[in-house]
Amino acid sequence: MTRIADVRLRRILDSRANATVEADVLTESGGFGRAAAPSGASTGEHEAIELDAEEAIANAREHAVPRLVEEVYAGDQRSVDAALHAADGIDDFSGIGANSAVAISMAAAKAGADMLGAPLYQHLGGAFRGENFPVPLGNVIGGGEHAADATDIQEFLSAPVGAPSVTDAVFANAAVHDEAHEILADRGIPAGKGDEGAWAPSIDDEEAFEIMAEATENVSDGVGFEIGFGLDVAAAEMYDDGEYVYSDRTRSTDEQIEYVADLVHEYDLVYVEDPLDENDFEAFAELTDRVGEETLICGDDLFVTNTERLQTGIEQGSANSILIKPNQIGTLTDAFDAIELATRNGIEPVVSHRSGETEDTTIAHLAVATDAPFIKTGAASGERTAKLNELIRIAEDAL
């Protein structure tokens, strides 16, 4: 194990052509790691704070880099991330920026793996690594904060739960993505793409459900294994003054619970993310009690990869799944702590990309290392397929 010799930070473009932070970590023995921070559009109010990229880089160079270079061993991830917390001095990373923190954290992990000559998933895995590979959730139709003049529900997700391999799952999602486009074309509905590469047609949620059901059934018949689908409702973005505001109506909290429960039953949904407001632990608990035996009720904005909020959810029975986004909490250690707390309490971790992404593939390794049942990566566009192609490589390497 050797110390960090240098940390280099730079601005690069993310998938929305916004500036984000990329970090290089070099060790005294020649180990090297590079990682880049993603950025969300639909963000929870309790997330770690992302700064302007230039400000984040300047602050990290001043406060974090001196605590790391020649002070911390690159393979000791907890020490790396503790140094980042100390440099920030604030729980929400508003000092050095969560974008600088997570880029450095992930780059250090890659440098540690490089020193060992091991794949990143092995370096991260430890006791977590199981025999299963995560099922990729592919964003097929979307709206909400990710696209204008499209569906109220933010993401309609293909879920090839019966796929015999990662490769089969990846290509099934791509096929569902293509099939949905063909169905839209047959209906005479033009569709561009949203932030995550999903089709963003000017249709209502009801029609989107019809198209998803048809597309997944058609592809499932062709490939010979089960393909379900799920949702990211992103309900916090709809919630206003005690009601959920849709394009054509509003729903009270009780009506929202009833609506989502009915959708689970009607479409056999395998996954439902953020179906209620980000601060309504009680309503999440009620919905989970109703349909938690049938599907995953996943908290994203509810938990924001934060162990304190997750502990509250565990005590109240608020969900049976947590979304894991390293940039949402600032470091890999914090993300691992959330995963460990979740798995100890029967909560399924789902590792996720963000709407503003880069070609970085760390989350593919994190999902494999922690035996996550699902990974959200999208189904199309280069920064999404980077993760999917890496999952294929990891599966081949692990055979």
Query: 355 φ, ψ to 5°?
Result: -70, -35
Token pair listed for 206: 């009801």
Beta strands in the chain (DSSP E): 4-13, 19-27, 32-36, 135-142, 155-159, 191-193, 199-201, 228-232, 239-240, 243-245, 250-251, 271-273, 296-299, 321-324, 348-352, 374-376
What number of other Cβ atoms are within 10 A of residue 266's Cβ? 10
Q: Does the annotation mark 193 as catalytic?
A: no
Q: Does the annotation mark 325 as catalytic?
A: yes
**Cβ atoms of residues 367 and 351 within 8 Å:** yes
Query: 225 φ, ψ to 5°?
Result: -145, 165
The continuous run of DSSP H or E covering 327 comes out as helix 326-329
Give the active site residue among 196, 278, 383, 390: 196
Give the length of the chain.
399
Residue type, 261: A
To the nearest 10°, report the CA torsion of 311, 313, 316, 317: -120
User: HSE of 127 in the Cβ direction (CA atoms, 13 Å)?
Assistant: 5
Beta strands in 52-190 (DSSP E): 135-142, 155-159
Residue 218 burial class via C-beta count within 10 angstroms: exposed 0-12, middle 13-18, buried 19 and up: middle
Give the active site residue among 22, 179, 325, 348: 325
Alpha-carbon distances of 107 from 3, 115, 283, 350, rounded to whole Å: 14, 12, 38, 22
Q: What b/e string do you get for 18-51 counting C-beta neighbours within 10 Å, with b at 16 or more?
A: ebbbbbbbbbeeebebbbbbbbbbbbbebbbbbb
Token pair listed for 349: 């971790």
Strands 239-240 and 155-159: unpaired
Query: Annotated active-site positions, please?
Result: 196, 325
